[in-house]
A and B are shown apart, each in its own frame.
Chain A
Amino acid sequence: MCGIVGLFLKDKSLEPQLGALLSDMLVTMTDRGPDSAGIAIYGADQNNLVKLTIQSPDPETDFAGLTEDLRKAGITNASILPKSTHAVITVSSDQLEATRTALEELRPDVRVMGTGSVMEIYKEVGLPKDVLERFKISDMTGTHGIGHTRMATESAVTTLGAHPFSTGSDQCLVHNGSLSNHNNLRRELTREGIRLETQNDSEVAAAYLTGEMAKGKNLGEALTSALDDLDGFFTFVVGTKSGFGVVRDPIACKPAVMAETDAYVAFGSEYRALVNLPGIEDAKVWEPEPATVYFWEH
């Protein structure tokens, strides 16, 4: 089943509440998927700095002394902010790849969940309310965000199998459905040099969009190509640095409801996820059409 939510703010005064609003939406969707939960939040841009959200199965050991170790390895202005099993490392944007390489050597068990100038990703096995509480998501500020609660079908219940999936800078995707041509696509994307970490079908969809955008397409164009190249059931909600997109497969059996006001665009697997949003009574509420791309850009 799976539950997905997304919130794209137009009204800046709501930004301090982004984490709290998105958390409430995701907790409401708990009964659509109890296996794992995750959220991606797009925060403020810091000039010439880039963030890596990392995760470790043994955070106490892995995160201890990591700042010093990174600095010794040449990442001179690295800073690290641990949050439970995750940590956000901030480095100069020109040192992103060097940081990745250094992490592989210094902390082989650490996984990079996502990178970007504004995006942070938090995901773990467990119920949404526990996962959100663990990372204090409701205190987070941001411009837009997406969340997912998973009922696993195509790959194991693990932290890495949780959504959102990020395969490109400031890009992430959540998926309700199951793809049937993901193995072939994974091979093709790997050949194109895109890095995939799991056997999960949704990660392939994320990587596919990353690949299309790398060819110069915008989010809307990449989502349009996905309708031709991805086979299976899907409702996707996708975030980029400044954009927010939604697309459903032509059969459209995976549910979706959207709401728009002057203050926000919101997505929920069900209307229940949207009922606590401010002004929802007067929002335009609709079901996104099958095989139709919707996207908004800041």
Chain B
Amino acid sequence: MPVFDLATTELRALNQALHALDKSGPAEDFEVTNPRGSHAVAVGIDAPVNVTIDGSVGYYCAGMNEQATITVKGNAGPGVAENMMSGKVVIKGDASQYAGATAHGGLLVIEGNASSRCGISMKGVDIVVKGNIGHMSAFMAQSGNLVVLGDAGDALGDSLYEARLFVRGTVKSLGADCEKKEMRPEHIELLTKLLADAGITDVKPEEFTRYGSARTLYNFNVDNFDAY
């Protein structure tokens, strides 16, 4: 198993080795030690590789990921799994702001808390946060699912499009055009699958509340004409 010690190896050597992997496999296991808060660890991978990072990372870890399974045994800085396309990213600790921003696919699991703007402009990714999320999360979220086992901060889902938000705890406030919605059987089914994918067995989907777009911002309202 290739091991990259970032205390003695350039970050670029790690990322180039990951970029050189064959897209169609076979799956390999990589280990990264001493990340010490480095930026851009394991970004831009497009291969079915398992990367385990022993420690905390800085900005943009696992950005643009395709296919890879990346596990961070520590905290992640801003922008973890930004623009992920597919694969799975697991953060054992907390994640800083805009986790999973603009991500199109794959699964991001944050076992601790995520701070502000989690899932901002998400475009199809599934995000599961075991702890709480900060303010302005899922701002302009377009599609995908955000599942929060704890509480959500202010202005959840502001200017939301078609992403589904499931929160088990309290929501400090909802953003513009975000509203509470009914949990129908298909949502219970979806949530059951998402929790299972995230390895969560001790929480029932019925404990969550669903939030989504009220869709009042989709079209121009002529009554607002004077405001422009």
How far apart are the CA atoms of A271 and B57 in the complex, in Å? 8
Q: Give the number of chain B interface residues (Cβ < 8 Å).
A: 17
Q: Which residues of A contact B58 (CB under 8 A)?
A: 270-272
At the interface with chain B, which of A138-146, A155-163, A282-290?
A282-290
Closest to A255 in B: B78
List B21-56 residues whose CB lies under 8 Å from chain A. 36-38, 56
B97's partner among A253, A274, A285 (CB-CB below 8 A) is A253
- The contact string, 1 if C-beta is below 8 Å from chain B, for chain A 2-23, is 0000000000000000000000
Closest to B116 in A: A252
Residue B159, interface by CB 8 Å:
no
A151 nearest CB across to chain B (Å): 16
How far apart are the CA atoms of A251 and B117 in the complex, in Å? 10
How far apart are the CA atoms of A219 and B135 in the complex, in Å? 26
List B100-129 residues whose CB lies under 8 Å from chain A. 115-116
A198 nearest CB across to chain B (Å): 30
A285 pairs with B75, CB closer than 8 A: yes
Q: Quick one: given A255-B78, A290-B116, are A272 and B134 in contact (CB under 8 Å)?
A: no
A271 pairs with B97, CB closer than 8 A: no
Residue B65, interface by CB 8 Å:
no
B202 nearest CB across to chain A (Å): 25
How far apart are the CA atoms of A252 and B93 in the complex, in Å? 20
Residue A98, interface by CB 8 Å:
no
A230 nearest CB across to chain B (Å): 19
B77's partner among A251, A271, A286 (CB-CB below 8 A) is A271
List B125-147 residues whose CB lies under 8 Å from chain A. 134-135
A24 nearest CB across to chain B (Å): 12
How far apart are the CA atoms of A253 and B38 in the complex, in Å? 19
Residue A275, interface by CB 8 Å:
yes
Main secondary structure of the interface of B (DSSP, over half): loop
Q: Which residues of A contact B71 (CB under 8 A)?
A: none
A173 nearest CB across to chain B (Å): 23
Residue B69, interface by CB 8 Å:
no
Q: Which residues of B contact A286 (CB under 8 A)?
A: 94
Q: Which residues of A contact B93 (CB under 8 A)?
A: 285
How far apart are the CA atoms of A252 and B96 in the complex, in Å? 11
How far apart are the CA atoms of A272 and B58 in the complex, in Å? 7
How far apart are the CA atoms of A255 and B97 in the complex, in Å? 8
B73 nearest CB across to chain A (Å): 12
- The contact string, 1 if C-beta is below 8 Å from chain B, for chain A 198-238, is 00000000000000000000000000000000000000000
A272 pairs with B116, CB closer than 8 A: no
Q: Quick one: given A255-B78, A290-B134, are A272 and B36 in contact (CB under 8 Å)?
A: yes
A21 nearest CB across to chain B (Å): 16
List A240-256 residues whose CB lies under 8 Å from chain B. 250-253, 255
Q: Which residues of B contact A275 (CB under 8 A)?
A: 36-37
Q: Which residues of B contact A289 (CB under 8 A)?
A: 134
How far apart are the CA atoms of A291 and B97 in the complex, in Å? 15
Q: Which residues of A contact B77 (CB under 8 A)?
A: 255, 270-271
* Most A C-beta atoms less than 10 A away, residue of B56, B78, B94: B56
B37 pairs with A272, CB closer than 8 A: yes
B94 pairs with A287, CB closer than 8 A: yes
A287 pairs with B96, CB closer than 8 A: yes
Closest to A273 in B: B37
How far apart are the CA atoms of A252 and B135 in the complex, in Å? 9
Closest to A31 in B: B39
List A253-298 residues whose CB lies under 8 Å from chain B. 253, 255, 257, 270-275, 285-287, 289-290
A106 nearest CB across to chain B (Å): 48
- The contact string, 1 if C-beta is below 8 Å from chain A, for chain B 44-88, is 000000000000101100000000000000010110000000000
A271 pairs with B135, CB closer than 8 A: no
A32 nearest CB across to chain B (Å): 11
A94 nearest CB across to chain B (Å): 47
- A sample of 19 cross-chain residue pairs with beta-carbon separation below 8 angstroms, ordered by A number, consists of A251-B116, A252-B97, A253-B97, A255-B77, A255-B96, A257-B96, A271-B58, A272-B37, A272-B58, A273-B37, A274-B37, A275-B37, A285-B93, A287-B96, A287-B115, A289-B134, A290-B116, A290-B134, A290-B135
With A255-B77, A270-B77, A271-B37 known, 6 other A-B pairs at CB within 8 A are A251-B116, A270-B59, A275-B36, A285-B56, A287-B96, A290-B116
